[in-house]
Amino acid sequence: MKNIFKTTSQIFLCGALLLSASGCEKFLEEPDKSNFTMENYFTKPEHAESVVNSIYESLRATTGGGFNGAPWMMLEFSTGLANTELGQAQSSINVRNLVNNADNEYGNTWWVSSYRAIGNANLAIAKIPDIQMDEAQKKKYLGEAQFLRAFNYFNLVRIFGKVPLIDKPVDLTSPELYPEPATEEAVYGLIVADLIEAEASGLPMSDVSGRATLGAVKSLLASVYLTMAGYPLQKTEYYQKAAEKAKEVIDSGKFKLFGSYDDLHSYATKNRDENIFMVQFVPNVLASNWQTSIIPYNQGISAYSDETGAIFANKEFVESYEPGDKRTKEKQFYYRTYTLSSDRSKTVDLGGYYIYKHFDTEAHLTTTSSGLNWPLIRYAEVLLTYAEAANEVSGPTAAAYQAINAIRSRAELQPLAGLTKDQFREAVWKERWYELSFENKTWFDMVRLRKAFNVTTKSFDNYVGHKFSYGPTLKERELLFPIPTAEIRNNNKLSQNKGY
C-alpha cells in the first residue's frame, strides 16, 4: 500500500492543472520542496489552491496512449465492444480476451492514481479549514476536494469492490498505512457524504475554467445513486434519488446538448454546455496523448509519426445501431476514411470503425500536440440517467420520454412513444451503450445492471455467461478487476478478488 501515499513534501511537484498557457507555465515551475513541512506549508490561500490543484492532476494518469496502450482502454476492452491492432499492448489483449491478471499495469495505474488523488484530497480537507483566507473561497476549495475524493472512490469501488477507505492524511509512519478493506456500502457512504457536503460549498453551477462545479457535483451524485440502486447494493429506493438529482441538473438550465457532434471534440466547447466536467489539457504545455491510439496502425493519415491502432470499435457493435442513426455516419462518432498525410487530396478506406469523438483534427493535420480535454461527465449522460431512474420509479413519464428523445432527435432517430416500462428500460440502456460509447461508461453500466449488450440479437444478455462477438465468455470474476499484486504484497489485510 505504500505506493498509494505521498508525504506533504511530495504532493506539489505536479500541482495544478491550470487552464491557460500562462497558467500551465506557472504549473511547470518546480517549487523548493526542501522548505515544505506539514507545519509550515498550509498557511496561505495560495497553499489551499495548490493542494486542491494537485488533486486534479491525478485525473490525467489514466488517459493517454501509445505503443503500450493506456489505462482508460481497460474499461473499454472489458465490454467486448473494442478491438486493437497493437499486438504488443499485452495489458489490452489480456483484458479483451478475458485472461486478465493482477499484474496488469492498467489496473495498477487506476489504483495508484486514485489513491494519490484521495491522499491529496484528505490533506486539503484536513488542512484548509485552518488557513486564514476568505471563507467563501475556503468553502469552495473544500467542496472541490470533497467532489474529487468522491469521484476517485466511485471509480475504485466499482473497479475493485472492497477497497481501503482512507479519509484523513497518512504518511509512511501512520498506523493507518495498511488498512482493512471496507465494504462497498461503507465506501458509498463516504462518497454520498462528500458529495452532499460539496453541494453546500457554494460552487457555481457551471464554470468554463474546468474546475469542479455544482453541476458536476449533482451529476455525479445522480450517477452514484443510480449505481447504488443496481448491483451490488441493490438499494432500489435510490432510483428516486437519482431521478431527483438528475432533474436538478436539467432544471438548472445551465447545460444543453451540442447541436453538432463535432462539438464533442472542439477546443471552443471545452467545459461548456454539454461538457459538464473534463480532464484539462493545453497543447504544447500539458498536451493530451491519446491521439496516436485512436488512429489506424501505420496507414499514413496523421502528422504524428506514431500510428498505433491501439483501440477501435468492433464492426458488429457499430453496425448494431439503428438504421439511419447519425452517430454511425462518417466522422460523427466513428470514421472509416481519411486523407493521407503525404497527399491530402487522396482518401483511403481504413478498413474499420475508428473513434472520432476523441479525434483532434488540428493535431493530426499539423501540430501533433493535442489540447483536447477528456470528457468525464456529459449532459447526455445526465438525461439518460434521469430517463432510466424516472422510469424505474413511475414508468415512462412524459419527462422521461423528453429526456431520451432529446438524445435520439440529435441522432436523427424517431422519438420513442407508447412503450411499456420494460421496453422503455431497455431502450434507455441501448441509448447509453450507443451514446456513451468509448467514454469509460459502458462497463460500469454492465456491472451495475448485470447485463451485456448482444450485438447480434440487439437485446441484453445476463452479464455472467455473455459471449463476446469474437469468442470469450464473461465469468463472475469479470464483475471486478483484480487488486494489483504490489498492493496485496504490501498490505496483507487485502485479499484478491474472486477468480484471480
Q: Is the pLDDT of residue 11 over 50?
A: no
Q: What is the mean pLDDT of residues 409-432?
A: 98
More confident of the two residues 434 and 14:
434
String of DSSP letters for 206-267: --TT-S--HHHHHHHHHHHHHHHHSTTT--TTHHHHHHHHHHHHHHT------SSGGGGG-G
Task: Convert the pLDDT of each residue in 250-296 to its tens digit.
Answer: 999 999 999 999 999 999 999 999 999 999 999 999 999 999 999 99
In a domain, 351, yes or no: yes
Examine residue 235 and state whether it is found in any structural domain, yes or no.
no
Which 3 state secondary structure label does DSSP give 83? strand
Query: Alpha-carbon distance 65 to 235, whole Å?
Result: 37
Q: Is the pLDDT of residue 22 over 90?
A: no
Q: Judge whether 289 lies within some domain.
A: yes
pLDDT band at 173 (very low <50, low <70, confident <90, very high): confident
- The confidence score (pLDDT) of residue 36 equals 59
The pLDDT of residue 493: 95
Q: Dig out the grid coordinates for 269 from the structure.
A: 466547447
- Please tell me the distance from the alpha carbon of residue 12 to that of residue 122, in angstroms, as a whole number: 14
In a domain, 330, yes or no: yes
pLDDT tens digits, one per residue of 89-144? 999 999 999 999 999 999 999 999 999 999 999 999 999 999 999 999 999 999 99
Domain that holds residue 324: 281-372
Q: What pTM, to 2 d.p., does this model score?
A: 0.93
CA–CA gap between residue 358 and residue 371 (Å, rounded) = 11
One-letter amino acid at 27 equals F
Number of structural domains (the chain) is 1
In a domain, 354, yes or no: yes
φ, ψ for residue 346 (rounded to 5)?
-110, 130
- Mean per-residue pLDDT, 458-464: 98
Copy the grid coordinates of residue 210. 474546468
Set of cell numbers at residue 83: 478491438
- pLDDT attached to residue 132: 96
Per-residue pLDDT reduced to its tens digit, 352-388: 999 999 999 999 999 999 999 999 999 999 999 999 9
Residue 315 lies in a domain: yes
228: part of which helix (H) or strand (E)?
Answer: helix 214-229
Amino acid at 307: E
Amino acid of residue 377? I
Mind listing the pLDDT tens digit for each residue in 289-335?
A: 999 999 999 999 999 999 999 999 999 999 999 999 999 999 999 99
Residue 130 located in a structural domain:
no
Q: What is the pLDDT of residue 50?
A: 95
Confidence of residue 37 (pLDDT cuts 50, 70, 90): low
Grid coordinates given for 265: 471534440
Q: What integer pLDDT is reported at residue 404 of this predicted model?
A: 98
Q: What is the enclosing helix (H) or strand (E) of 130?
A: none
- 463 within domain boundaries: no
Cα Rg of the chain (Å, integer): 22
Give residue 35's pLDDT: 55
